[in-house]
A and B are shown apart, each in its own frame.
Chain A
């Protein structure tokens, strides 16, 4: 992965920069010893690593603002960091950068049941946001599988989704406001307890901007009343096409499940062996979950099962108890762990129109075969968000590069099918150079203009999202 040359001036000024930072944050909030910096050299895309110049772990918006003003004045790039679980290399540092991590900013600032919102510092983990309101019968809807670890900060930057976003939407649909610190230290409030923007929807623009427009220190999130109950049904099919058709029929029928998860045979076998979930050995498995009161759940599941029966399922397993529900979900929830035990893997997340599912699954299998690599599929079928897992062996020379090439081909296939490169993980460095497969030069130009406005010096989270060639002239101009 090509990264820009670190700024030698910044590297040689390290001692001075550290001294200035230590004037605004306490000693225990500043890391600059090489051996300690190693902990921040990568995120969950571990194939790429680079220790930063220094790491700052502030506690308040004011501290973040002061640190950014110093970095801005000294022209030091800043890499915002939440919990470091990005799968796209979104928080990969450069050698000349200061990482600002929000991990210590975990407070709940306000909860209001009347307004159905919670305001938090963004270092708080996704799951602990729900934890703060669940006693009162509320929850925070976006539920990435990494929710135990990942921070709201990263969720906002990546516009993260989860299994239940078919019904509840992704982060941007559940975000009411942010406190944003711009690169020069300016603090901006966008949105708040009310709905919609007075003028341009800058909140919507910031969400999903991968830490390149500003650092988000506080967030107002929408919370929802917990449904009375939820129950899944497991449906097995002997063909990918038929499973795909069943998904489309369920969606059309007017039931809105909270989740429709899809696994193919390689994934079913691996997860079943790993978790003992007792899945049938078949070509495709759907887990469809609905919510509501008991009677409602019954009614919705009846409809879903009727649709499924029309497609001749090899298995139709309704859950009769919370234990059975947990067992149905068990394999799905441990899918990534199961794969991780079998091999190293790259997790893609291209999204396609639901109608293209069978074609893209077949195309993916053909591509995998031509590369001599295995691919397992587990994904959010209701919204077409694929998660092909490319299995490879990190110890075999050349295998990673081969897997990456296959990944790029699969993502091109998604784009060609009318879809996109990433549905929830973000572009980061991982898909940066593929952006031209989805966007024209003008499309990218329009996005880079937004960056020009928020961060004219191009110092925030460098070398992510845009192909280096596309941003070269802007970066050169900014460096002058």
Chain B
């Protein structure tokens, strides 16, 4: 385990290093067996937090718990609702902010508030040549030069080691409310969610679980406004049945963390798809599944080692293998294969940022 104490030390290590390495945050999101580990646990701490400017900057190894606490103290949060994947992956490490960024991990609010990459406004990193790179910054609007911030979000340690990340934060709403309809078929559930998201009532969560026969919609904001919107939304969607209030406060955190798949015996996949194709995709899934993002995201469990992508030829979207044995990750590939010209660009970037092949992308 390599654990640099500073960005400079990390840069020196990488200049001298001969790999391969797996950059990791708190070890909750990704696994590759048999590689030296590079830990960011020595790069921690919030370096700047200005609630009045909605800006937070932290070193990449900072535990999410610390970030959440600091934000909560000021009544703020990260809009993209970062999930905590430790439980579903069966790990007990500490989730870090760098790990969230490296996987572009985003929760139910993603469909309206954007992904992690949309809240991320700056990064610092050390690439595979040991070069320290800064991109973006701490301001909300910035088009100065190419947007390597987006490139690094979700790059899974392929291009470099994140050392510091900056975010736009948002105030927490006064209240949240969930409406629930029962017994909708997948097609009708997606139609209801699409209709809800097409209203001006600012729905910030839309999920469907066929096992529970439940379709949920979330509203957030000021108390009076949420109550009024809930009534009007339920009225607008009455064609899909009755919408009752669901008081379960842990519902959205559970959906966010895919808690309903914790301890499952099979492999776990995340499928990103056009909502209007979601029901069709769901019909071809070989096991348990659940929808989020108004149908735009499907969590699916499959028998171990099963190639889900083979069931979904011509998928307009992608399927990511989230939980499986290292052998399955190797055989099927963690990430959805890219079309040749896109793959060529990805390979080109990888060879420029990591010419010696120090980093092996974490699954």
State the A residues within 8 Å of B (CB): 112-116, 137-138, 158-159, 161, 165, 169-170, 172-173, 182, 186-190, 192-205, 207-209, 225-228, 248-249, 251-254, 256, 292-293, 295-296, 299-300, 351-355, 380, 383-385, 418-427, 431, 435, 438-440, 442-447, 449-454, 465
Q: Say which one of B35-43, B148-156, B250-258, B299-307 lies at the interface with A.
A: B148-156
Query: Within the assembled complex, what's the spacing in Å between the Cα atoms of A187 and B145?
Result: 24
Query: Once the chains bind, are B276 and A353 in contact (CB under 8 Å)?
Result: no
Closest B residue by C-beta to A466: B145
Minimum CB distance partner of A351 in chain B: B139
For the complex, give the distance between the alpha carbons of A425 and B107 in Å: 31
**Contact across chains for A450 and B349 when beta carbons are under 8 A apart:** yes
Query: 5 shortest A-B CB distances, which residue pairs?
Result: A204-B150, A198-B318, A194-B317, A423-B141, A453-B348
Q: Does B111 contact A (CB under 8 A)?
A: yes
Please report the C-alpha to C-alpha distance between residue A112 and residue B275 in the assembled complex, in whole angstroms. 10
Chain B residue nearest to A229 (CB atoms) is: B200
8 Å CB contact of B141 from A199, A355, A424? A424
CB of B34 closer than 8 Å to a CB of A: no
Closest Cβ–Cβ distance, residue B349 to chain A (whole Å) = 5
Q: Name the distance in Å between B21's Cβ and chain A's nearest Cβ.
A: 19
Contacting A at CB under 8 A, from B108-153, are 110-111, 114-115, 117-118, 127, 131-135, 137-151, 153
| Cβ-defined contact, B293 with A426, below 8 A | no
CB <8 Å contact, B349 and A193: no
Asked if A189 and B339 make an inter-chain contact with CB atoms under 8 angstroms apart, the answer reads: yes
- State whether A351 touches B272 (Cβ < 8 A): no
Cβ contact within 8 Å between B170 and A256: yes
Whether A256 touches B53, Cβ cut-off 8 Å, given contacts A194-B272, A194-B318, A198-B336, is no
Chain A minimum-CB-distance residue to B349: A453
Is the C-beta of B316 less than 8 angstroms from some C-beta in chain A? yes
Besides A190-B342, A251-B171, A450-B148, 13 new A-B residue pairs in contact (Cβ under 8 A), listed by A number: A113-B198, A115-B275, A200-B154, A209-B147, A225-B199, A254-B172, A256-B171, A296-B222, A299-B225, A425-B143, A446-B135, A447-B135, A451-B146
Nearest Cβ on chain A to B316's Cβ, whole angstroms: 6
Distance A442 CA – B129 CA, assembled complex (angstroms):
11
User: How would you classify the secondary structure of chain B's contact residues: helix, strand, loop or mixed?
Assistant: mixed
Hey, which chain B residues are within 8 Å of A385, CB to CB? 140-141
Do A116 and B141 form a contact, CB below 8 Å, given A188-B345, A204-B151? no
B156 shortest CB reach to chain A, Å:
8
Q: What chain A residues lie within 8 Å of B139 (beta carbons)?
A: 351-353, 383-384, 418-420, 423
Contact of B216 with A by CB under 8 A:
no
Chain A residue nearest to B125 in the complex (CB): A446
Chain B residues whose C-beta falls within 8 Å of the C-beta of A192 in the assembled complex? 274, 316-317
Can you report 8 residue pairs joining A to B where beta carbons are below 8 Å apart? A173-B114, A193-B274, A296-B221, A384-B140, A419-B139, A442-B131, A445-B133, A450-B352
